[in-house]
Amino acid sequence: MAASEPPGATPRASRSIPAAPSIPAARTIPAARTVIENCAIATVDADGAEHASGHVVIAGDRIESLGAGRAPEGLANVVRRVDGTGHLLTPGLVNTHHHFYQWLTRGLATEHRLFDWLVALYPAWARIDEPMVRAAARGSLAMMARGGVTLAADHHYIFPKDSGDLVAAELSAAAELGVRFTLARGSMDLGASDGGLPPDFAVESTEGALAATEKAIDEHHDPSFGSMTQIAAAPCSPFSVTTQLMKESAELARRKGVRLHTHGSETVEEDRFCRERFGMGPTDYFASTGWLGEDVWMAHCIHMDDSDIDAFARTGTGVGHCPSSNARVAAGIARVPAMLAAGVPVGLGVDGTASNESGELHTELRNALLVGRLGADDPSALTARQVLRLATRGGARVLGRDAELGSIEPGKLADLVLWKLDGIGHSTIADPVAALVLGAAAPVTLSLVGGRPVVEDGRLTTVDETAVARAAREQSRRLTEIAASA
């Protein structure tokens, strides 16, 4: 209950004119509280603390307290109390790498390696426009949010001429869904006629790409605690951008205080391209252009030897691991256990849905564990808890936000997911974390972003899922028709 206002001030006796009225004391409005209790909790904090049955108290957009057993009695201003019996509460999942626009071209070139797959799809992608990108972003974000993602990063690097405001299309979709969003403003300036992979009609000029990236940062990047929108500088890859663009993008990002993102060491063809064009492997090339550091994360990082991993660990360069996409195009198995042992920051990524049609991050937990063990030929190479950490705290660190989210701790943002584990798919799996990682895709009973529900009982609360699916289907057909007539 707010305190009553104090009476107005009386005029000073020494003055012949009335004194200005005093300013009322600031009202203290207690933050609305939400209580989640009776659930298993995996905090993913530094100690990996867990509760077999515990509670979390949320005040406003922050986690206020947590512990074993039920929440304390007598909490004021509790507006919602959630019984989490049969559930596991975790931090929200963090997707470190995606290409939203590819939602419109799923199921194509299903038996191609990366370079051939890109060549097959560039002609269609180079004809995307603002309505297509917005529909694709809504579809991509909706699928991820339904599966527990509360922070997503998208690497958008194709900007056809006269295609509209593609940055605004993505930002509006994220705002509508209510999910935190990092837009990695990508770019390509090395067309086929100059020795690059993308066709000339799909690239920007170096100067144009840099100017557009700076404009996106100036207009949309919010570095504050609890930010919903951040921007990163993100030239696409060594085989689609010039060295000038790589170097100047790094300089721009550091001048503006934003992060850097690109694809790295994804295929043997990329390694060969770097050695033939630059006389060195990808990691040494990145070092020569200023692209190793704590403000950098790279997608894939499959073909890395011990010296490459040491360089990433020494500089704090992060990795967005995308196991399903890596397998889809037969690119290889990233050495994630070795990276973690060396201290490399690693998170998980969906990657574009043209190379990972499920579009979900939840499936990447299971695949990361299975592929990691297979690649290391060791059943203990990765544990279920390590993989949960990759998907939460690890991803938050890679995106530079681990001080705000990624674990369940007092003072952090209330980005939380309550997973239902008492149904037929999970009820006999004794360990709830193993059930989440190794079991079938668990239903999401509740997903919160800053304490606000974005999913309730498996359904999105912010958009009409049927309308999102219909709009994406219409824009996919439109893109197919435009590409076919070009």
pLDDT recorded at residue 9 = 37
Q: Using H for helix, E for strand and C for coil, what is the string for 188-230?
A: CCCCHHHCCCCCHHHCCCHHHHHHHHHHHHHHHCCCCCCCCEE
DSSP tag of 419: E
pLDDT recorded at residue 158 = 96
Q: Domain extents for the chain?
A: 33-91+408-460, 93-398
CB-based burial, 139-156: b 16+ in 10 Å, e otherwise: bbbbbbbbbbbbbbbbbb
Contact 251, 214 (CB under 8 A): no
* β 346-348/416-420 pair status: unpaired
The span from the CA of 420 to the CA of 455, in Å, is 13
Contact 435, 429 (CB under 8 A): yes
Structure token digits, residue 98? 């995606």
The superfamily (CATH) of domain 33-91+408-460 is: Urease, subunit C, domain 1 (2.30.40.10)
Widest Cα–Cα separation across the chain: 90
Q: Is the pTM of this model over 0.95?
A: no
pLDDT in tens, the chain (486 residues): 333 333 333 333 333 333 434 444 445 567 899 999 999 999 999 999 999 999 999 999 999 999 999 999 999 999 999 999 999 999 999 999 999 999 999 999 999 998 899 989 999 999 999 999 999 999 999 999 999 999 999 999 999 999 999 999 999 999 999 999 999 999 999 999 999 989 898 899 999 999 999 999 999 999 999 999 999 999 999 999 999 999 999 999 999 999 999 999 999 999 999 999 999 999 999 999 999 999 999 999 999 999 999 999 999 999 999 999 999 999 999 999 999 999 999 999 999 999 999 999 999 999 999 999 999 999 999 999 999 999 999 999 999 999 999 999 999 999 999 999 999 999 999 999 999 999 999 999 999 999 999 999 999 999 999 999 999 999 999 999 999 987
Contact 325, 355 (CB under 8 A): yes
* Alpha-carbon separation of residue 280 from 198, 246, 248, 293, 304 (angstroms): 22, 16, 20, 19, 13
**Assigned fold of 93-398:** TIM Barrel (3.20.20)
pLDDT recorded at residue 29 = 66
